[in-house]
Amino acid sequence: MAIGYLQVMVTTQTALPLEDVKITVIDSATQQVLEDKTAYTDNSGQTPLIALETVAARYSLDQDNTTVLPYKNYDIIIEKEFFIRGQIMGAQIYEGQTTMQVIGLMPRPTEYGNEFESELNRGEIQKLFTTVPNLQDGTNEYVLQRVVIPEYITVHLGRPDASASNVRVPFKTYLKSVASSEIYPTWPENALRANIHAQISFALNRIYTEWYRSRGYDFDITNSTSFDQKYIHNRSTFESTDRIVDEIFNTYVTRTFTREPYFTEYCDGRQVTCNGLKQWGTVDLANQGLTPLQILQYYYGNDIVIRETNFISNVTTSYPGEPLRRGSTGENVRIIQAQLNRISDNYPAIPKQTVDGIFGATTENAVRTFQRVFKLAQDGVVGKSTWYRISYIYVAVKKLAELTSEGETIADGSYPGFPVRRGDRGLNVTIVQFYINTASQYVSTVSEVALDGIFGPALQRQVINFQNYYNLTPDGVVGPATWEKMYRLFLSTQEGVTVPPQTPPPGQEFPGTLLRLGSTGSSVRQVQQWLNGVSQAYPQVPSVNADGIFGPLTQASVIAFQSNFGLNADGVVGPLTWNRLYAVWQDLVGDGTI
C-alpha cells in the first residue's frame, strides 16, 4: 500500500496560530469521510502528520504514463468555533511525500460581543477584528509602520468628493501613467529622473500619511491635478519614462532627519506656479549639467536626500547579504533575536533568548525551532529563506501587539524629524504613548494613556505633566527636546542598556556640512579617529588612515559602521552618523575597551 502524508497549519488571516482546530479529511473520489484521520492543531497551529493512502510513486517517475494520476486527491474541512468554516478541495498526496496545507481562517464578526466575547478576552477579540486586511482593495493600515512600496495603489478617477470609480492598479503601472501624463518623454534624462522621483515620493507620501483613508475615503490618491497628480487609466506610456520607473520605483525623496516620504509639491512652472519643483525648470537645470538630486535640492533644499527601500508590500526583504550562524555577531543578529522573541509570544514552541547580538547555542536552538515550525531546512542558520520567513512572520504578529521595547523604532529612538502634537495619528503617536506609560512608572505626576495611536487631550495633558516635571516648555507638543528626554528615560529603565550621550561635547559637534567621498579637513580626521577606535571592538568596521582625506577606504568603513548600527548605509556622514559614531566610540572608551 502506497502512503503519503498531510500536515495542515491553521492561522488567523494575519498569521497568528490557531489551536484546537478540527481537521476532517474526505476522499475526493468517493466523498467518504475518513473518521480515523480526524486531527486537531497544536499551539503552533499545526496537526501531526496524517498518513493517507495514495498512488505508487512509480507513476510520477514514468514520463510515458498518461493514464494514471500520480497522486490521490483529498478534501479537507477546517473547523473552529467562532470562525468561518474553511474547505480545501483536491489536496494532492504523493507516496512518501508530505503535503503542506496552510490556511487562514476568518472570524465570524456577527458573534462579536455575544458568546464569542465570553470565550475570548476583549483584547484578543480586538486583535482578531481590527487586523483582518481590507479585502476590498488588498491593503491594510500596517503598511504605514515604515516606508513601504505598495504592490498596488487604489486611484479615485475624479476629485475626492466626486462620484467616480476607483481603480486598483500595480504601483509601477500607476507611476508609468503619471510620468507619461505629466512630463514629455523627450526631456533630458536627468530632468525625467528628477520629476519621476518627485512623482514617486508624492504618491508614497499620500499612502504613508493615510491622507485620504484617514478622512474616510476608500482610496489612496485621486487623479485630479487640483489635488494630486495626473493619472489616465489604461493610457499608452513611453519607453524612456517606463525604463526609469522600472529602475527607481523603490526610491523616495525625504529629508535627512525624517522617515516619511517628502511631500514633493510640483507644478509645470509655466501655466501654474507653486513653491515646489517647476517641471519645465528641471529641463533648464538638467541642460546646465545638474544631477537629479541636485535638481531636487535646488527646489526643496539642501537637506533633501534620495533613499531606497526594499520593503515591497508589507514583507521584509532586508537580508544582510550573508548567512547568520553560530559565532556571528552584530546588529543583524540582534534583529533576528528580537524578532524571534516577539514571534515566540504567539508561537510558544520557540524559546526566548537574550537579545545581545551574539549568535550562540540558544539563538541557534531558537532558529532551529522556528525552522521546524515553519517547515524550513533545520540547519540553525539564518540564510535567505529563514531571514525572509522570520521577517514576514515578525511583521505579521507584531501588528497585533502593543508597542514593545524590541520594536525597531523604539530601539532606534530617533526623533521623527517633526513635532508630534494633538490631532496627529499613527506610529509616532503610539511611540510617545509608550514613552509616557514608561514614565508613569517613575514620575508620580504622569499617568498612563491608551496605546491607540491617537494624540488626543488625555495624551496632551500627560505630555505637559512630563514637561513640567523635567523643566521643559510645557506646550504639550513633543518636539526634539521632549522626545529626547522621553527616550533617554526609557533607556534608563532597561536592564543592561547604557544611555548614550545626547550630542558630542563642544568642539566635537557635527560640523554642519555632510562629509562624503572627496571631503577633506579636520572633521574628516575626527571621523577617521573614531572609526579606528570602533574597529578595535567591531572588526567588521575596518580601520583607516587618519589623514583627513575622505577616500574610498573611509567611505567603506563608514558604510560598515552604518550597516552595523542600523543607519542608512550611504557612506555619507551626516548628523545621525556623526552623533552615533561619537556615542559608540565614547562608550568603548568609558568601559575600557579602547
Render 404-472 in DSSP notation, one character per residue.
Answer: -TTSHHHHH----SS-B-TT-BSHHHHHHHHHHHHHTTT-TT------SSB--HHHHHHHHHHHHHTT-
Quick check: 345 pLDDT over 60?
A: yes
Q: How far apart are CA 232 and CA 377, in angstroms?
A: 47
**Contacts for 195 with CB less than 8 Å, ≥ 6 apart:** 179, 182, 183, 187, 266, 277, 279, 282
Q: How far apart are CA 542 and CA 454, in angstroms?
A: 44
Across the range 96-109, mean pLDDT stands at: 78
Across the range 250-265, mean pLDDT stands at: 78
Please provide residue 278's backbone torsions phi and psi, each rounded to the nearest 5 degrees. -105, 115
Residues 99 and 194 in one domain: no
Question: Which residues constitute the domain of residue 429?
Answer: 409-492
Domain assignment present for 124 = no
Across the range 436-463, mean pLDDT stands at: 84
pLDDT in tens, 524-554: 999 999 999 988 888 889 999 999 999 999 9
The helix (H) or strand (E) run that includes residue 101 is: strand 98-105
Q: How far apart are CA 342 and CA 335, in angstroms?
A: 11
Q: How far apart are CA 257 and CA 418, in angstroms?
A: 9
Q: How far apart are CA 134 and CA 185, in angstroms?
A: 37
Give the per-residue pLDDT at 111: 38
Give the per-residue pLDDT at 444: 79
Quick check: 512 pLDDT over 90?
A: no
Higher pLDDT, 96 or 590: 96
Q: Residue 289 class from Cβ within 10 Å (0-12 exposed, 13-18 middle, 19+ buried)?
A: exposed
Domain assignment present for 258 = yes
> Which DSSP category does 382 fall into?
B
Residues 442 and 461 in one domain: yes
Quick check: 138 pLDDT over 60?
A: no
Across the range 449-469, mean pLDDT stands at: 88
Domain assignment present for 127 = no
Higher pLDDT, 254 or 396: 254
Give the per-residue pLDDT at 492: 61
- For the chain, what is the mean pLDDT? 79
Residues 485 and 567 in one domain: no
Q: How far apart are CA 38 and CA 176, in angstroms?
A: 52
Domain assignment present for 497 = no
pLDDT in tens, 226-236: 889 999 887 77
pLDDT in tens, 416-437: 767 889 988 766 787 788 788 8
Give the per-residue pLDDT at 584: 80
Domain assignment present for 560 = yes
Residue 50 bridge partners (DSSP)? 6
384: cell is 535567505
- Number of helices and strands (H, E) in the chain? 18, 14
Residue 587, classed as helix, strand or coil, is helix
Residues 383 and 419 in one domain: no
Asked if residue 79 lies in contact with residue 21, where contact means CB atoms within 8 angstroms, the answer is yes
> Which DSSP category does 221 fall into?
E
Q: Which residue has the cell 484578543?
A: 124
Give the per-residue pLDDT at 14: 60
Residues 185 and 87 in one domain: no
Residues 442 and 475 in one domain: yes
Give the per-residue pLDDT at 413: 58
Across the range 313-326, mean pLDDT stands at: 64
Give the per-residue pLDDT at 229: 92
Give the confidence band of 310 by pLDDT, cuts at 50, 70, 90: low
Q: Domain count of the chain?
A: 5
Q: How far apart are CA 150 and CA 486, in angstroms?
A: 33
Q: How far apart are CA 547 and CA 459, in angstroms?
A: 51
Asked if residue 60 lies in contact with residue 112, where contact means CB atoms within 8 angstroms, the answer is no
Residues 251 and 165 in one domain: yes
**Percent of the chain scored above 90 by pLDDT?**
31
Quick check: 396 pLDDT over 50?
A: yes
Q: Residue 555 class from Cβ within 10 Å (0-12 exposed, 13-18 middle, 19+ buried)?
A: buried
Give the per-residue pLDDT at 132: 28
Give the confidence band of 277 by pLDDT, cuts at 50, 70, 90: very high
Q: For the chain, what is the largest distance between any 2 Cα atoms, rounded to a whole number of angstroms?
A: 84
Give the confidence band of 282 by pLDDT, cuts at 50, 70, 90: very high
Burial state string for 30-47 with b = 16 or more CB within 10 A and e = fewer than 16: eeeeeeebebebeebbbb
The interaxial angle of helices 171-182 and 189-208, nearest 10 deg, is 130
Residue 7 bridge partners (DSSP)? 100
Quick check: 254 pLDDT over 60?
A: yes
Residues 53 and 155 in one domain: no
Give the per-residue pLDDT at 451: 67
Q: How far apart are CA 37 and CA 53, in angstroms?
A: 11
Please provide residue 446's backbone torsions phi and psi, each rounded to the nearest 5 degrees. -105, 130
Quick check: 49 pLDDT over 70?
A: yes
Quick check: 256 pLDDT over 80?
A: no
Domain assignment present for 349 = yes
Number of C-alpha atoms within 13 angstroms, CB side, residue 229? 29
Going edge to edge, which strands form the sheet with 39-40?
39-40, 22-27, 72-79, 86-93
Give the per-residue pLDDT at 246: 84
Give the per-residue pLDDT at 536: 87
Higher pLDDT, 272 or 128: 272
CATH code assigned at 43: 2.60.40.1120
Residues 190 and 299 in one domain: yes
CATH code assigned at 478: 1.10.101.10
Across the range 499-521, mean pLDDT stands at: 74
Quick check: 134 pLDDT over 70?
A: no
Amino acid making up residue 174? Y
Residue 103, classed as helix, strand or coil, is strand
Domain assignment present for 314 = no
Give the DSSP per-residue string, 158-184: S-TTS---EEEEEHHHHHHHHHHHHS-
Residues 416 and 397 in one domain: no
CATH code assigned at 545: 1.10.101
**Contacts for 92 with CB less than 8 Å, ≥ 6 apart:** 71, 72, 73, 99
Q: Which residue has the cell 478534501?
A: 75
Give the per-residue pLDDT at 495: 38
Residues 100 and 12 in one domain: yes
Residue 91 bridge partners (DSSP)? 74
Q: Of the given ranges (261-275, 489-503, 570-584), which has the lowest mean pLDDT?
A: 489-503
Q: How far apart are CA 408 and CA 391, in angstroms?
A: 12
Asked if residue 312 lies in contact with residue 339, where contact means CB atoms within 8 angstroms, the answer is no
Quick check: 394 pLDDT over 70?
A: no
Give the DSSP per-residue string, 511-564: -SS-B-TT-BSHHHHHHHHHHHHHHHH-TTS-----SSB--HHHHHHHHHHHHH
Give the confidence band of 63 by pLDDT, cuts at 50, 70, 90: low
Give the confidence band of 376 by pLDDT, cuts at 50, 70, 90: confident
Quick check: 498 pLDDT over 50?
A: no
DSSP percent split of the chain into helix, strand, coil, nearest 5: 40, 15, 45
Quick check: 131 pLDDT over 70?
A: no
Domain assignment present for 133 = no
Residues 395 and 417 in one domain: no
Asked if residue 221 lies in contact with residue 153, where contact means CB atoms within 8 angstroms, the answer is yes
Sign of the CA dihedral 332, 335, 337, 339?
Answer: negative
Quick check: 130 pLDDT over 50?
A: no
